[in-house]
Amino acid sequence: MVRIIGFFVGLGFVGVLLISLVINGADYFSNPPEPTAAHEFHKEPRKAELASDGMAGKFDRQQLQRGFQVYKEVCSACHSLKYVSFYQLTDLGYSEAEVKAIANQWATEVPSVNPETGEPATRKALVSDRFPSPYANETAARAANNNALPPDLSLMTEAREGGHDYVYSLLTGYAEQAGYKNEKGQELLKEFPDVATPPGLHFNPYFANLNIAMPPPLVSDGQVTYADGTKSTVDQMAKDVSAFLVWTAEPTLENRHRAGWATLLFLTIASILAYLSYRNIWANAKREVAARGPLDPAFRDRMDEQKAERGIAG
C-alpha cells in the first residue's frame, strides 16, 4: 500500500513539473524577453595572441618586463598585486640587485609599526614583501574612485571570462558612445535612448554592462617609455600588461606545460609497451570456442533423429 501511495505521489510530482515546463515554455516563446543594450552591443574579447598561448606556450621575458613597467607606471596607482612578492620579479629576468632597487624605490610604502612609539607607520618595501596596496583600506579606495573599488590584479586573467584577451580588449576598447554601432549596424542610442553613460562612468563595449568606472588608463602612444626601446603604442602596452598579468596569475605556467608534455610522452611510451607485451604474451595462446545451441553438433544429431522419427523432412 505504501509503495502504491509513493508511486502516485511521485507521479503527481512529475506531472506538476511537466505542466510547469510546458506553461513556462509556452510563455517564453509567446512573450520572448526584450533585448537589452548589454546583450545587443556587448562585444566578445579580441585575441591578444601572446607568446604564452597554447599548450606549448612560453613567456616572453622582454614582454613581461615591459608589462611590469606599464603596471608600475600606470596601473599601480589604483590597483594592487597582493598575491605577488617583489622577489618573484627575478623570474622576469631582473637581477637580485635590480629587484632590491625596485622594492626600495616603490612609490607606495609598506604599512608598519614604529618600534619606538608603537604607532602605525610605513617603511620602504623589502624584497620579501608583497606589492603594497595603493590605498590604506577599501573605504579609502572607494573615496578616491567615485565609490568604485579597483580590483586586485594578481589573478585577474584567471578571474575574468576571456582571461588575458578580456584584459587586452578592455584596455583598448574604450569608445565614444554617441554614434556607436554594433556589427549589425544598429546605433546604440537610437535603439536604446535611455542607456546613455551616466556621469562618472565610461563607455566600453567589452565591459559586461557597457559602462565602467575606470577611465581609460592607456590614453596615447608613448605614454610609457620602454627601457628596451620598443615602440609603446596603446595596443602594444595593452598586450604587454596583459602578458604580465598572465604571469602574476600563473607564474608556473611553463613548468605546468613541461610537466604536461612529459606526462603525455610517458603515457604514450607506456601504452606502446603494454600493447607489445600483450601481443607477445598472447601470440601462441589458443582459444577454444565451444558451439552451443543450434550449432552444437550433438544437438543437431538429436534434432535429425527426432525429425526422422516423426517423419519430418529436412
pLDDT, averaged per 10 consecutive residues of the chain (314 residues), comes to 79 84 75 78 93 92 97 96 96 95 94 84 93 94 93 96 96 93 88 89 94 95 94 96 97 94 96 90 60 66 76 70
pLDDT digits (tens, 9 = 90+) for 123-161: 999 999 999 999 999 999 999 998 999 999 999 999 999
Cell of 20: 510547469
Q: How far apart are CA 86 and CA 84, in angstroms?
A: 7
In this predicted structure, what is the pLDDT of residue 93? 94
Please give the CATH number for the structural domain made up of 39-84+130-251: 1.10.760.10
Three-class DSSP labels, the chain:
CHHHHHHHHHHHHHHHHHHHHHHHHHHHHHCCCCCCHHHHHCCCCCCCCCCCCCCCCCCCHHHHHHHHHHHHHCHHHCCCCCCCEHHHHHHHCCCHHHHHHHHHCCCCCEEEECCCCCCEEEECCCCCCECCCCCCCHHHHHHHCCCCCCCCCCCHHHHCCCHHHHHHHHHHCCCCCCCCECCCCCEHHHHCCCCCCCCCCEECCCCCCCEECCCCCCCCCCCCCCCCCCCCCHHHHHHHHHHHHHHHHCCCHHHHHHHHHHHHHHHHHHHHHHHHHHHHHCCCCCCCCCCCHHHCHHHHHHHHHHHHHHCCCC
Contact 106, 97 (CB under 8 A): no
pLDDT digits (tens, 9 = 90+) for 250-303: 999 999 999 999 999 999 999 999 999 888 877 665 555 555 666 667 677 777
Strand partners, 91: none
pTM: 0.79
The contacts of residue 215 (CB under 8 Å, 6+ apart) are: 202
Which residue is listed with cell 613548468?
Answer: 255
Q: How far apart are CA 109 and CA 153, in angstroms?
A: 18
In the chain, CATH 1.10.760.10 sits at 39-84+130-251
Among residues 24, 37, 63, 110, the alpha carbon closest in space to that of 239 is found at: 63
In this predicted structure, what is the pLDDT of residue 149? 94
Contact 260, 252 (CB under 8 A): no
In this predicted structure, what is the pLDDT of residue 258? 94
Cell of 216: 581609460
